[in-house]
Structure 1
Amino acid sequence: MAPMGEVDFSSPPETFVGRFGFVVDIAAALDELDSLVAMYSNYSVIGHTHFYDELETVSIDPAEIEELHTDDWDIRLERLYDLAPDFTAIDPNYLIHYTQFDEDEVDRFVGRVGPFLHNESQSERADGWPTWPDGDYPYLTLSEFTRSYGKAFRKTERAEAILELNREVRETVRDRLPPESERPTVAVGSLHDGTWHLDTFVDAPERTYGEMHYRELGARDAVAEHGRGRVQAEMELLLEIDPDVFVWRHGLFDPDGVAETLEELEDDTLGSQLSCVDSGRFYVGGSPDQGPIVNTFQTEMLAKQLYPDEFGDYPGLGDVPTDEQLFDRDRIDEIVRGEGLE
């Protein structure tokens, strides 16, 4: 796996350290959560538990996961060495860019402890991104990650099975999309200290996984003509954008807060003029740290939020009636248990 290159394990890894929830979600699909010994941050797992609660086989308490970040978002280096994981599922260039790691420290850690096995592909990498050890390297898709970790853990059949289910759901939704002219405009973002932070998604590199469900469901990016990446907006600009649908980025982590914000906007002179507020199409959004399980749930969630006439209304987290679900939750449980694999 780039940038580390070829990594050989003489036996399946027994321990690993993760960054955010993406690799943890893959590990959940492979029934390898017991191998997780720590994370850089457990934040995204908090949101993912809304989906895991619908499954019998995936149980994880974020509060019990040891976090390795410091208050200023460096990494607790001595503790990472003490843990001595069989592999570290963090792109070393992420550590070089955002923490006290430098290239010498990466080389030292690999030599003394073990390999890094990850590639920063959630979204477009930051300007000035380091390129240890051999220069520029490609983004990887969700499928490529899942297969790589499946191979490392000797769980290739589970990896292929969860990818097959994920592919079936995504294809089912894509095949039923309305014509582009009938699709709503969508703004993805959140509100902090009176300022809207809006994220474009149509301009993300094609192979990145963080916003893939918006792209695959043909969402019309309401913000793209006003900037690229993250756009900060006051209410006047949001009124100018006036999306048909607003999806609260990371809304999984505070669904009650999203509902309270909608109520406040409904009572606000300007906010109540937004089309998405007037129609009530102001939704909890998913997590960009989506592995194959979370992406499958989030594809269903977004399909219902954007196209209720085709896929049914979105009733809220965990409340989709069985006969309106786009996939069988039991099938995920079977895959995690290793049942019904080819």
Structure 2
Amino acid sequence: MADEENFVLEGCKRRRDILKTGCSIVGSGLIAGCISDSNTSSSDETPTTTPSDEQPTAKSDDPTPYEVTVKPAGTHTFESVPETYASFIGVWMDIAMAFGIKPSAMMSLEENQLKYYKQLPDVTVDLDSVRTLMDSADSEFDKEVFYDVDADVHLMDPRLIRYYSGWEDKEIKEINRSVGPILGSTIRFPMGSDSYYTLYEAFEKGAKIFQRQEQYDAWVTLKDEVFSEVQSRLPDDKPTVGAFIIRFDTEGKNLMAAEIDAFRNDTRTLRKLGVNSAFKGDTYVRYKKIGPEKLLEVDPEYIGLVGNLTTSDHESFQQTLEAAKNDETMSALTAVQNENFVRTAGANMGPISDLFSVEAAAMQLYPDEFGEWPGSIGDIPTENQLFDRQRVSDIINQRM
């Protein structure tokens, strides 16, 4: 990982309009504000703004350059506010969508995450206009597509670009220099010794990139209100949850256990809801493969399916539940017998899906307080909704 840890983007102070043959980009109005460069905090909460190397940008019709640092990608000086972006589906797309900015290109087109946007009035994503950077999970990136898309910024972790493309550093640097800056960071969990951001630290970086401080502040206010309300209603007696990532093997042969209280984004929902983690261990562990015997020994009250709310629907989950109930070993688990499963948004969770995830999980874990979980975010009765969908849409559409 040495090359990845020391990877610094080249050409980050060059103007894109000099490197390209097209016209320079005209940005929208700039919002004054200084973004913190905090990235070592173990808190899930919004970071406190502190002086950093990122200078505040004044509102101007002719914006002066501004710098944004996203580790481990590096630092880029923007001459104007980016209007288009390419990304992986997940956190950074959700961050941009929280500002009302739709992608120009994605690694691949997946309908799963769009379910959250479909629940919001006046928020749509037209997939017909979005390019794909690769044909399938087994294919590699086509460098020419990057040139053809010509995105103003790539909200991607360079380590993942390297992983999916098989490119060498020189090819990644070429895209950064000749097409557009690569500014993204994987926040599912820490990768080696690299710097790591919490969800709202990454979100704050996105606000700096797109100069959307006012929208970001509105999101922070909304998020704080929602989580404060939820946490004020949590019972004193909280359940123990055994969280699993990637997928839940109903035969118990390939169980990837996650430490809920570790410094990671994918278990954020369960952590915010105060559950007890069934798998205590190294707070920086990504996951630990365990066998069915270990799971039976722990026998948590709930099985946490991290990411399942995004990747599966209610019908698919029911099939998973039935398969576990029909397995000789897994059927002995208390959680399986009581059908105590909790599905959360998980690895791809950004600020929009974060709200849906905590609402859904609160209902699954504490139905006496938050109402019975109907199985789908689209079926939650208005009286049980923990946040105002219209208010979210208004922030996204800058009607704060």
Normalising by structure 2, report the TM-score. 0.73
| Per-residue Cα deviation, 1:29-75 (whole angstroms, up to 9, x for no partner) | 11111xx11112344xx332232222112222557643323553532
**Cα distance change of structure 1 residues 15 and 308 upon mapping to structure 2, 3 Å threshold:** same
1:322 to 372, 382, 388: 382
2:176 to 110, 113, 118: 110
| Per-residue Cα deviation, 1:310-336 (whole angstroms, up to 9, x for no partner) | 322222212221111111111111112
Query: Which stretches of structure 1, 4 residues or longer, exceed 6 Å deviation after superposition?
Result: none
Task: Give the structure 1 partner of residue 15 of structure 2.
Answer: none
What SS does the aligned partner of 1:310 have?
Answer: helix
What SS does the aligned partner of 1:191 have?
Answer: coil
How many residues are aligned here?
323
Task: Give the structure 2 partner of residue 48 of structure 1.
Answer: 113
What SS does the aligned partner of 1:171 have?
Answer: helix
Q: Which letter does structure 2 place at the counterpart of 1:91?
A: D
The answer to whether 1:338 aligns with 2:393 is no
Task: Give the structure 2 partner of residue 132 of structure 1.
Answer: none
Q: Which letter does structure 2 place at the counterpart of 1:200?
A: A
Alpha-carbon offset, residue 147 of structure 1: 2.6
Normalising by structure 1, report the TM-score. 0.84
8 Å contact from structure 1 (residues 89, 116) kept in 2: yes
Please list every run of 5 or more consecutive structure 1 residues that lacks an aligned counterpart in the other structure. 128-135
The answer to whether 1:238 aligns with 2:288 is no
8 Å contact from structure 2 (residues 155, 184) kept in 1: yes
The answer to whether 1:265 aligns with 2:324 is yes
Q: Distance in 2 between matches of 1:8 and 1:32?
A: 20
Q: Which letter does structure 1 place at the counterpart of 2:210?
A: F
What SS does the aligned partner of 1:8 have?
Answer: strand
The answer to whether 1:169 aligns with 2:226 is yes
Pairing of 1:1-342 with structure 2 (within 5 A): 1-3=69-71, 4-33=73-102, 36-43=103-110, 46-60=111-125, 65-69=130-134, 71=136, 72=138, 74-125=140-191, 127=192, 138-179=195-236, 182-189=237-244, 190-192=247-249, 194=251, 195-202=253-260, 204-205=262-263, 208-224=264-280, 228-251=285-308, 252-255=310-313, 256-317=315-376, 318-339=378-399, 341=400
Larger Rg: 2
Deviates most, 293-302 or 73-82: 73-82
8 Å contact from structure 1 (residues 14, 86) kept in 2: yes
Q: Distance in 2 between matches of 1:315 and 1:87?
A: 39
Deviates most, 296-305 or 72-81: 72-81
What SS does the aligned partner of 1:111 have?
Answer: helix
**Cα distance change of structure 1 residues 232 and 65 upon mapping to structure 2, 3 Å threshold:** farther
8 Å contact from structure 2 (residues 325, 337) kept in 1: yes
CA RMSD of superposed structures (Å): 2.6
| Per-residue Cα deviation, 1:237-258 (whole angstroms, up to 9, x for no partner) | 3322222111223323222221
**Cα distance change of structure 1 residues 305 and 196 upon mapping to structure 2, 3 Å threshold:** farther
8 Å contact from structure 1 (residues 185, 244) kept in 2: yes
- Percent of aligned pairs with the same residue? 30
What SS does the aligned partner of 2:229 have?
Answer: helix
Q: Distance in 2 between matches of 1:174 and 1:7?
A: 38
Q: Which letter does structure 2 place at the counterpart of 1:38?
A: A
Q: Distance in 2 between matches of 1:83 and 1:196?
A: 39
